[in-house]
Structure 1
Amino acid sequence: MRATRPVGEITRGTTGHNRLRRSDRWIAAVFGRLLRSADRPLVVDLGYGASHTTTLELFLRLRRVRPDVEVTGIEIDPARVAAARPYERPGLSFRLGGFELPVDRPPVLVRAFNVLRQYGEAEAWRHWDLLRSRLAPDGVIVEGTCSEVGHRAAWVGLDAAGPRTLTLAARFDAFERPSDLADRLPKALIHRNVPGEPVHAFLRDFDRAWAVSAPLASYGVRQRWIAAAEALCAGWPVFRHPPLGGRSRWRLGEVTVAWDAVAPLGRAPGEGRLDNP
C-alpha cells in the first residue's frame, strides 16, 4: 500500500521543559471527567517539536487523571520522531504524521500548540476542520500558542461542531496589561485584533477592567487579575464557575470566554453554546 504523505509543514520545533504546563493544567481540570469516562482514551500531542519533552510531560500529568490513558506524539519531521522513540514506554508512543492524525483509533483529545502560526488564517480553519473530523465521539481539541518559555499563552477549545472557548493564561510577572497576550492569540484570531473585531473589543475591555482594578495591586497582581476578571463578567460571557472559570481558575492567571463572543466577523459562530458561563 502506498504511504500517504503527512498533511502539514515542518515547524521550527521550538520546545522546552514546562513550556505547556499552563495548558496541561487546564486540560486536566476541564477535561478530566471526559478522560475518566472514555473507553481506552487516546490523547494526541500534535507537532511536539524537536524534543519529546512536552509530550512526556503531558503523558505524566494525564496519567494522574486517568492511569491508563495513552498518549501519542505526532511529528511531521522523521528526524524528530526517530529522536523521540527511545523515550517510548507503555502508553507513550511517537509517530510520523500531520493533521491527518495517523493513529489506530479516534483520539478523545488532541493538543496542538504552536503548529498553526506559520499558516494563513483560512488554512488554519481548514486544519481545524480536518482535526475535528478525526475525533472520537465527544472528543475535543486544545489548539493554541505560547511564548518561548510558556509564560504567556492562549488557546481555543474545540469539539466536533467547532470552537467553543478562548482562554488567555499568563504568569503574573509576564505582562503589564492583559492585551499584552494578544501576540499569543491563535491563528484564527491573531490578525483580527483590530478595531471593529470582537476579540479587539474583548482585549480593550479587559485592559479597562485591569485599570479599574489597580487599587487591588497593593494586595498582589493575582488579586488584581481576579478583580479584573470579575469586572469583565459584567459585559462578556466569561466563565464564572468551575471547571472553566471562577476564582479557582482566575487565581492561576487564566480567563476563559465563550468563543461566540470573540469569533471573527464574517464567520458563522460554532454551532451551539456551552451552558451558563
Structure 2
Amino acid sequence: MARTKPVGVITRGTTNPNRLRRCDRWLAGPAAGRLRRATGSPPIVVDLGYGASPVTAVELHDRLTRVRSDVEVVGIEIDPARVAAGQLLARPGLSFRRGGFEVPLDGRDATVVRAFNVLRQYAEDEVAGAWESVCGRLTADGLLVDGTCDELGRLATWVAVEPSGPVSLTLSWHLRGLDQPSAIAERLPKALIHRNVPGEAVHDYLTDLDRHWARSASHAAYGVRQRFLATAQAMRDSGWPLLDGPSRWRLGELTVAWDAVAPAGPGSDPVSHQGP
C-alpha cells in the first residue's frame, strides 16, 4: 500500500534546548490528568513538527515519564532528514516518524498532540483546517496544544483544543525583567496574533493585563512574583474567566477560557469587549 503524502509543508525548524519547557510544565501539571486517565494501552503524546533538532521530543519524554512511566512520545516531522536525526535518539517510549497534520500513528489515536511554532508559519485561514485534521486523530479525551514561543522559551502562548473545539488560551512569561504583560502579544498563536487590534477580545484582554499590572506596581516592593499575583487576582475580580489559580500564577502563567478571547467571527462586526 502506498504511503499517504504528509499534510503540511516543511517549516524553518528553529529550536533550542528547553525552549518548550513552559508548555511541558503545563502538560505535566494541569493537563496531566489526561495521561493518568488513559487506559487499555500507554498514552501517546506527539511532538508535531519538532524541527531541525529532536531535542524537544527528548525533553518531552523525560518530563512526561514522571507523570506516566509508560507514556509513548512520538516525534513527527515532514522533513526526512529531521526524522533521520531523531531516530538516532530513539529509545523505549520515544520514536520518530515522517508525517504532518494527518498524524500517522498506525491507526492509533493520540492523547496529546503538541504543535509548537508550526502553525505560526502558516496563513491564519489554514488554522481551522489544521486543528480539524489533528483533532480527528485524538482520543475522545485528547488534546491538541497549538503554541508559539520566543527563541529562548521565556515568552510562550498556547491554545488548548479538544475534539469539540478550543477551550483555553494560556500565556506564560519569564517574570524577571518583565516590563508589561502585553509584550507577549508578538508570540500569540496564529489564530490570535492578527486579532490584537481594537474591537477584538484578545486585545481587550492584553489591555486589561497591562492596566492591572500598572495598578499593581506597589506590590513590586515584595518582588515581581507578588506583583504578578496581584495582577492576576485583579483580572479575575474584574470578571475575566481565569481557569487557574495562584499555584500557576506564581510561575508566570495565566489561563483564560477561550470564549473570552476568541476572534470575532468571519463577516461579523467586532464588538468592544470590556471584560467577559
Deviation (angstroms), 1:129: 1.0
> Residue in 2 aligned with 1:101?
103
- Aligned residue in 2 for 1:9: 9
What is the alpha-carbon distance in structure 2 between the residues aligned to residue 118 and residue 66 of structure 1?
Answer: 32
Pick from 169, 176, 194 the counterpart of residue 166 of structure 1: 169
Per mean C-alpha deviation after superposition, the further-off stretch among 170-179 and 134-143 is: 170-179
Instruction: Tell me whether 1:29 sits opposite 2:29 in the alignment.
Output: yes
User: 2:88 aligns to what SS in structure 1?
Assistant: helix
Q: SS of 1:222's equivalent?
A: helix
**Are the aligned partners of 2:168 and 2:256 in contact in 1 as well (CA < 8 Å)?**
yes
For this pair of structures, how many residues does the alignment match? Answer: 265
- Describe the SS at the equivalent of 2:61: helix
Counterpart residue number, 1:273: none
Once the two structures are superposed, residues 11-50 of structure 1 have per-residue CA deviations (whole angstroms, 9 ceiling, x without a partner) of: 1111111100000001111121210120221111100001
In the other structure, the counterpart of 1:144 is 147
Give the structure 2 partner of residue 255 of structure 1: 254
CA distance in structure 2 between the aligned counterparts of 1:238 and 1:170, rounded to whole angstroms: 19
Q: Is the 8 A contact 1:124 1:187 kept in 2?
A: yes
Structure 2 spans left out of the alignment, 5+ residues = 268-276
SS at match of 2:197: coil
Give me the whole-angstrom Cα distance separating, in 2, the residues matched to 1:236 and 1:263.
16
Relative to the length of structure 1, the TM-score reads 0.93
The TM-score, its normalising length taken from structure 2, stands at 0.93
1:73 alignment partner in structure 2: 75
Q: Is the 8 A contact 2:232 2:249 kept in 1?
A: yes
Question: Is this contact kept in 2: 1:114–1:146, CA < 8 A?
Answer: yes
What CA RMSD, in Å, does the superposition of the two structures yield over aligned residues? 1.4
Q: Mapping of 1:206-225 within 5 angstroms?
A: 206-225=209-228
SS at structure 2 position matched to 1:142: strand
Q: What SS does the aligned partner of 1:136 have?
A: strand
In 2, Cα distance between equivalents of 1:267 and 1:69 = 40
Query: Deviation of residue 126 (structure 1)?
Result: 0.9
Q: Is the 8 A contact 2:241 2:260 kept in 1?
A: no
AA aligned opposite 2:248 = R
